Structure 1
Amino acid sequence: MNNLSHPDWENPQVVGINKLPAHATLIPYPDEATALTCRRDESPYFLLLNGQWKFQLVANPAAAPDGFYRPDFDVTAWAELTVPGHWMMQGYDKPIYTNVKMPFPVNPPHVPADNPTGLYRHTFTLPADWQGRQVFICFNGVESAFYLWLNGQPIGFSKGSRMPAEFDLTPYLQPGSNTLAVMVIRWSDASYIEDQDYWRLAGIFRDVYLYATPKVHILDFFARTELAPDFRDATLKVQATVNFYEREAPTVYRGKSSAFAPGPADYWVSMQLYDAEGRAVFDQPISRPVIVSDWNPTRVNLVQAVAQPRLWSAETPYLYTLVLSLKNTAGQTVEAESCKIGFRRVEIKGREILINGQPVLLKGVNRHDFHDRLGRAVPEETLLADIKLMKQFNLNAVRTSHYPNDTRWYELCDQYGLYVIDEADLECHALYNKLAHDPQWTHAFMDRGQRLVERDKNHPCVIFWSLGNESGYGPNHDAMAGWIRGYDPSRPLHYEGAISQYSALLNATEMPVQADEHIPGQEQETGRRLGWQQGFLATDVVSPMYPSVDHIIAYAQDPANTRPLIMCEYAHSMGNSTGNLKEYWDAIETYPGLQGGFIWDWVDQGIRQVDSQGREYWAYGGDFGDEINDGNFCLNGLVAPDRTPRPALYEYKKVLQPVGVKSIDLSGLIQLEITNKQYFTDLSNFTGTWEVAVDGEIVQQGDLPVLNIPPQSSRQVKLTLSQPNLPPGAECFLTVRFFLAADTPWADKGHEVAWEQFKLPFAAPLPLKLTPEHMPPLTLTQSGERASISGPDFELVFDRGAGRIASFTYQGQPLLVEGPKLNLWRAATDNDGFKLWPDRQDKMLYQWLQAGLDRLAFQPERVTIEQPQPQVVRLTTWLIGQAPGCPEEVTHQQTITVYGSGDVVIENTVDANLKLTTLPRVGLTMQLPAGFETFTWFGRGPHENYIDRNTGAAVGLYHSTVAEQHVPYVMPQENGNKTEVRWLTLTNQAGVGLLASGANPLEASASHYTADDLYRARHTNELTPRPEVILNLDYRQCGLGGASCGPGTLPQYLVKPGRYHFTLRLRPFVAEKENPVTISRQSW
């Protein structure tokens, strides 16, 4: 085919051939009643072509068989491929994950000659009643470039993977069967500006469909809703575009299409608006004549006042249905079109983004279109699951990072209520500033901005247009911004690159940039020196990536900063991550000008695989032989690839909750201040309850009064409760909870939306102390390196050579198979450092490995054993810890006091003055035998939590299992921790248990994996649970932070090298005979 001799796929000025201009997503309907459904499958003029297509993969475009696009070319031996879908996800070629680096040598606009190319064939039958109509085909998503043929005739060419490509098929259609052929080219010049942080996947991955219009047709319309200053009334302004078609075929393939031609002029466009119940809003439809002057597409303006419309917001996503009808002079409906619209205003005043006049905080997340088996061919049920989860976890905004999503996504966001930053399919991270300044690429930049706006302009959920991501900043962005501002001044612009100090530095110095040179976070350090006063042409907001809490506060406090600040990316949630969200949101809710942010990101982009033993796991970069890759940097989700919420999402839900509660008086009559943090609805949609718990057991509870608190208002409430009689050493907590009062589209009645907890200052008697005098005597026996301490029903054996407990049995049941030993190590989180790249010297993991924390070996220097009382034996050990090849030492003095009751009190003094930023942890680790599976604790839970991520975990009494503590991060790492643990128990089926507590609340975890197990594994299928239980009891564990891409752990959450002193208690018991709650209240 001679057109392949000219590399359209290596020419950035060719964005399409015969591709139709962009327009809003519209489907023709035969009448107004059908159009009112807004369901495309109800239209007789819509035909979905999804399904099984014939497919063959060839090495490059030139390797395509001659004439494969002709109907008589035999494809019976070809495979079948599901459309929509990627061929990499169906057994052909390989997925490639990279973040910044291009997956091939950088030489824009050229791409490798080795360029996998997918050949598709599909036949369809033209409906008989489509004769005489204009027929179009729409490809909603094809990556990266493609040619199209119909019945052997060339139709067109397209680039722009995440935007629709439409073509007029009319001239080459035939009655009955028709044959489509598509050549999809994996790499094109467009790949350089689609260099997003994601899997590189190719194919026809979104819907393909046909639609048929009359020869006079509503081509497009733009519905604008203008609200009065008081937001009571509105004006609906609709500009419709009517087109006229001829029957003859276009005369030129590569030139301008001759699809537009003169036609009848005696038509009217009629407009009616319907409310959510299907009632007409206007007394009569609003109609205007179609005035034809030059037979080109003709615009018709319709304007109508709307009295007191219900406004759209994320809290109240009220939608109207707009129906446009094209009528002839006889009043007959030639065609009807429709879409959902919402009345709302977006504006910026000073340093505030206002939605319908209110400075709404954007509680957002970045979201890639991704499915763990289907790639970016995301089915509607997954889109809906994402939206429902976001709403259930108190999110109200999403950034379509970093490309337009499927059109259905926006319809669902309109319906369910999410604010959207709609982002152009534009990222040239590997080249950064270069293409933004190159006039050869201006057309490609402009095309992506224009097509984004034209497609999504009628969606009320879209509150910002974004010019793309990490593409530097240059004149091409300003050109995009200028066109968008002129076409749609109703929405502000967003673009992080315009305020990026990295962009500014490159522009100022004309520094060359290499593909691997841009390190995330580098521009923020420059930003601290230069500020964010730039890029006003291209962005209306300051939208930094990964700023620190101090940085955004400093911005807000400086009156010279005149724009709102929204963190377009922050709190990088890679693996076990997302620390100090509370500090971010305390700042956001305190300082005007800070209006929220978008966590990176929503879902782990792990591809589901099955190993040779049938075990499922999720793969990441490098797992498919993709030599250029960025490893597991694609795993940053608040939810797992299967949409299971990660523990961090519960933290986010808490800091975003729509109800705030403060204590006014907790000492006498309980008095609380309840704040409605919403902007448009009162709290009558919620019910509230309160409960008082003593050591986790609820002793009183009741309902809050009716919550009709107006938006952004507070009210004080008083609770009538009696002070409970507290046992010695008991704690008392008040927890207030708020629930949905009725079913909503995104959650059922009773769904919890917010909670707050207060420790009540009720005085409890001092805890009872252990009194050895009332205990049975102990027998101390020493033989060689072993010392045995026995009571009536237990025995503890101490190994002098190892300097720790060798075994501990109770009623003949082993409780410990490995005694407590000092533990300073944890299986590195992704924020600690990347296991795939442990030599990164800027990471804490590197420091830890250099200090040998993963291989510390302790040897006793001295051991003393004494029995000061018949009921007490005391063992004191001085240990020296050192790793092979490491000169630094850690000393550990441990005193174990064994009581006749079976209590074992372990006092520890640790000197760890190592040259480190922080220690991973300071605590003890030990192992229980198999069978101690029941796990109960009184502390924060029920989910995993850490000292800088425990705001969303309430103090309570929780019952679970050891197996359920494991959080299966795609890259195995430290997990399962609990903070502020007063006590915990591990119990077997016979009811024999071990209780652990501390002189002060501990951090603790119970697992079937050691830290070494987790650290050595690279995927979940490499983990085999041990039958034993590994119990970690920590004085303190380092927080999580966000240093995989952003600020590290805050200073107050580090474990600084130095001296630590802490005391733990172990106590065996039988559940039927002793209550661990009672035991835990004792002191020593």
Structure 2
Amino acid sequence: MGLLPLNGFWDFKIDPEDRGEDEGFPEGFERDYVLAVPASWNEQVPSLMNYMGVAWYARRFRIPERFDSLKAWLVFNGVNYRARVWLNGHLLGEHEGGFTSFRLEAPVEYESENLLVVKVDNRLAPDTIPPGRGLHGFEGPYFDFFHYGGIHRPVHLEFTGNSWVEELSVNTSFRGDLRIKVYTRGREPERVVARLLDEGKVIYVKELEKSGGFYSAEELLRGVEPWDIYRGRLYRLEVDVYSEELSDSVYEDIGFRTFEVEGEKLLLNGREIRLRGFGRHQDFPVFGRYLPEPVIVRDYAMMRRLNANSFRTSHYPYSREDLDYADMMGFLVILEAPLVGLRREHFTDRDFLEKCKRVIREMIRDHRNRPSVVMYSIANEPQSWFDEARPFMEELVRTVRELDPTRPITYTSHAHMLGRRDKALDLVDVVSLHFYYGWYSFHGDLDQALKRAERDLEDIHRAYSGKPIIVTEFGAGAVAGLHSDPPEMWTEEYQADFLSRYTDLFASKDYVKGVHVWNLVDFKTPQSHWRIVLNRKGVLTRTRQPKMAARVVAEKFEKF
């Protein structure tokens, strides 16, 4: 019905003692800085780089007259980590989790200025998602990427009538099957109508039938073109809700495609494929965890040049803008939940499990209608060699299947690298493995590293015969401009040799159905003795310039 962006400059104040609520900050405060939203706070002002704690944002806005008869909703697409939101001094609600969206009903003033105040708390704890104990050091975050803070994804106001769409679910196939399910809230609608448009031309209209608390339709549409790799063929699905008059209107850009696991094969639209690509991070100088649109375009252009067809959203769901572009460009996405750093202590914590399930629900709600999203990863490198991990992972798998039974499930495992046996890999549809022999062990000795990697691969294939294997991480760090003959660790030559030889190994195994290099780009990490400001395993620098390994990867991927 209408949308009002709230991006731009916001007042900002740190609150290291967490006294702001007692001191009246929800009704306004004296600012320390003016910061840009969306973006992390850390690199916008040098003194904020290492700030982890409570901070406050505020901005004022007016509502255009054309919205004055409608219900207003505040939508935050990502705030890291905890958010409490006030409008005109009234608490609207709160949310925990930095990588999924949330919406709050907003009783705005239509005849005067509104004051929006947001309290953000990015302090890590063993029960946050992801967990940790501090900003830096080996035992600070339980993960190896920088823990940014702030409103790092867009904010806007939405407007509806007294009936509105609460959730829209779409399933398709490359043969033209279309299944629509719409849940509404508020007043009971008089009717709900769906339209499918092809470049502005209406090709399908249907009034949805109500049954079981939702509105739905199923059709087989002849003549639609399938969504495919490098061919992001999209159609616009619009859903209108009427209550006396038009009360809400939403849309999704959808594609017709089918992704399946059949034995050890990955099938897209009925044909076998192999995944070629990268683990990534949403990380860029000054912007922090927010990738502006030109950087997103650059990332995809470079992936396409490197002959990649896929990536994993390591280690959290990416922004809507990023995944919109994946839909448009025809890239396959493994959508990963922000469950990284899971330790034995987490597996017996029922409250933590419920929090994980909520985050997964929100992730699937945000992105389930995307043709690019072909698989869910429910965790990255959990300590799944402990017996306690199995029932924990089993419940996460069950949660995903209940929400979306149409996509295969995986999680990434490194138990073999520690000489352990993973206790839960049989629960998932696709086995995802990490290999760093020749980097974290067998230092500089790629001959021995590859022998060990091949042995592990064969052992795991025998144990899980009948499931496809993908290698979701393998890589070596390289400082751009550092060279050596013969290749030595940290040089561009060693990284190129590492990736070349590992890719050849994986290509020789017909049961390996995908490889993702770690990483596409260098990214910021916690300060420690084993990182030089950044994790430098990218084949591109943090500013997206290629290292020597980029050309090698492009050549290998062309043949994979």
Do these two structures clear the TM 0.5 threshold for a shared fold by scoring above it?
Answer: yes
* Change beyond 3 A, Cα 1:556–1:316: farther
CA–CA distance in 2 between the matches of 1:437 and 1:49? 41
1:273–1:280 Cα contact (<8 Å) kept: yes
Write the mapping of 1:90-109 to structure 2, written as runs, cut at 5 A. Answer: 90-91=44-45, 93-95=47-49
Q: Which residue of 2 aligns with 1:154?
A: 91
2:79–2:99 Cα contact (<8 Å) kept: yes
Aligned match of 1:465 in 373, 376, 380? 376
Q: CA deviation at 1:388?
A: 1.2
Give CA deviations for 1:239-267 in whole Å, capped at 9, x if unaligned: 011111xxxxxxxxxxxxxxxxxx244x2
Q: Which amino acid aligns with 1:236?
A: L
Q: Which residue of 1 aligns with 2:196?
A: 273
2:522–2:534 Cα contact (<8 Å) kept: no
Give CA deviations for 1:407-430 in whole Å, capped at 9, x if unaligned: 11111001011110101112225x
1:484 correspondence with 2:385: no
CA–CA distance in 2 between the matches of 1:274 and 1:385? 29
Q: Which residue of 1 aligns with 2:179?
A: 237
Q: Which residue of 2 aligns with 1:287?
A: 207
CA–CA distance in 1 between the matches of 2:210 and 2:164? 11
Aligned match of 1:526 in 388, 397, 419? 419
Q: CA deviation at 1:480?
A: 1.8
Aligned match of 1:570 in 456, 474, 479? 474
Write the mapping of 1:463-862 to structure 2, written as runs, cut at 5 A. Answer: 463-473=374-384, 474=389, 475-497=391-413, 500-501=414-415, 523-526=416-419, 530=421, 534-537=424-427, 539-546=428-435, 548=450, 549-551=453-455, 554-555=458-459, 558=462, 561-575=465-479, 576=492, 577-606=495-524, 621-622=526-527, 630-632=531-533, 634-657=535-558
Q: Which residue of 2 aligns with 1:129?
A: 66
1:212 correspondence with 2:159: yes
Q: Which residue of 2 aligns with 1:743?
A: none
CA–CA distance in 2 between the matches of 1:450 and 1:362? 26
Give CA deviations for 1:837-863 in whole Å, capped at 9, x if unaligned: xxxxxxxxxxxxxxxxxxxxxxxxxxx
* Change beyond 3 A, Cα 1:74–1:375: closer
Q: Tell me the matched-pair count.
A: 515
**Largest Rg, 1 or 2:** 1
1:556–1:594 Cα contact (<8 Å) kept: no
Instruction: State the SS of the aligned residue for 1:467.
Output: strand
Q: Which residue of 2 aligns with 1:56?
A: 13
Aligned match of 2:358 in 441, 444, 447? 447
1:143 correspondence with 2:80: yes
Give CA deviations for 1:800-820 in whole Å, capped at 9, x if unaligned: xxxxxxxxxxxxxxxxxxxxx
Q: Which amino acid aligns with 1:544?
A: L
Of 376-385 and 474-483, the range deviating more from structure 2 = 474-483
2:208–2:215 Cα contact (<8 Å) kept: yes
Instruction: State the SS of the aligned residue for 2:170.
Output: strand
The two structures have a TM-score, normalised by structure 1, of 0.45
Q: Which residue of 1 aligns with 2:440?
A: none
Q: CA deviation at 1:56?
A: 1.2
2:168–2:182 Cα contact (<8 Å) kept: yes
CA–CA distance in 2 between the matches of 1:349 and 1:533? 23
Q: Which amino acid aligns with 1:654?
A: E
* Change beyond 3 A, Cα 1:317–1:555: farther
1:436–1:471 Cα contact (<8 Å) kept: no
Instruction: State the SS of the aligned residue for 1:176.
Output: coil
CA–CA distance in 2 between the matches of 1:159 and 1:553? 38
1:393–1:652 Cα contact (<8 Å) kept: yes
Q: CA RMSD in A?
A: 2.5
Q: Which residue of 2 aligns with 1:395?
A: 308
Q: Which amino acid aligns with 1:604?
A: D
CA–CA distance in 1 between the matches of 2:261 and 2:111? 55
Greater relative contact order (Cα < 8 A, sep 6+): 2
CA–CA distance in 2 between the matches of 1:94 and 1:560? 48
Q: CA deviation at 1:191?
A: 3.8
1:553–1:587 Cα contact (<8 Å) kept: no
Q: Which residue of 1 aligns with 2:447?
A: none
Give CA deviations for 1:886-937 in whole Å, capped at 9, x if unaligned: xxxxxxxxxxxxxxxxxxxxxxxxxxxxxxxxxxxxxxxxxxxxxxxxxxxx
Q: CA deviation at 1:580?
A: 4.2
1:428–1:435 Cα contact (<8 Å) kept: no
Q: Which residue of 2 aligns with 1:67?
A: 24
Aligned match of 1:321 in 229, 232, 236? 236
1:571–1:579 Cα contact (<8 Å) kept: no
Q: Which amino acid aligns with 1:307?
A: R
Q: CA deviation at 1:364?
A: 1.2
Instruction: State the SS of the aligned residue for 1:486.
Output: helix
Q: Structure 1: where are the runs of 5+ without partners?
A: 1-28, 30-44, 97-113, 228-232, 245-262, 502-522, 607-619, 661-676, 678-1084
1:223 correspondence with 2:116: no
Give CA deviations for 1:1031-1055 in whole Å, capped at 9, x if unaligned: xxxxxxxxxxxxxxxxxxxxxxxxx
Q: CA deviation at 1:631?
A: 4.1
CA–CA distance in 2 between the matches of 1:461 and 1:153? 39
Give CA deviations for 1:293-341 in whole Å, capped at 9, x if unaligned: 9xxxx41011111114311121332111112122356xx5443221111
1:434–1:472 Cα contact (<8 Å) kept: no
Q: Which residue of 2 aligns with 1:369?
A: 282
CA–CA distance in 2 between the matches of 1:484 and 1:587? 33
CA–CA distance in 1 between the matches of 2:317 and 2:464? 34
CA–CA distance in 1 between the matches of 2:233 and 2:124? 42
CA–CA distance in 1 between the matches of 2:159 and 2:306? 42
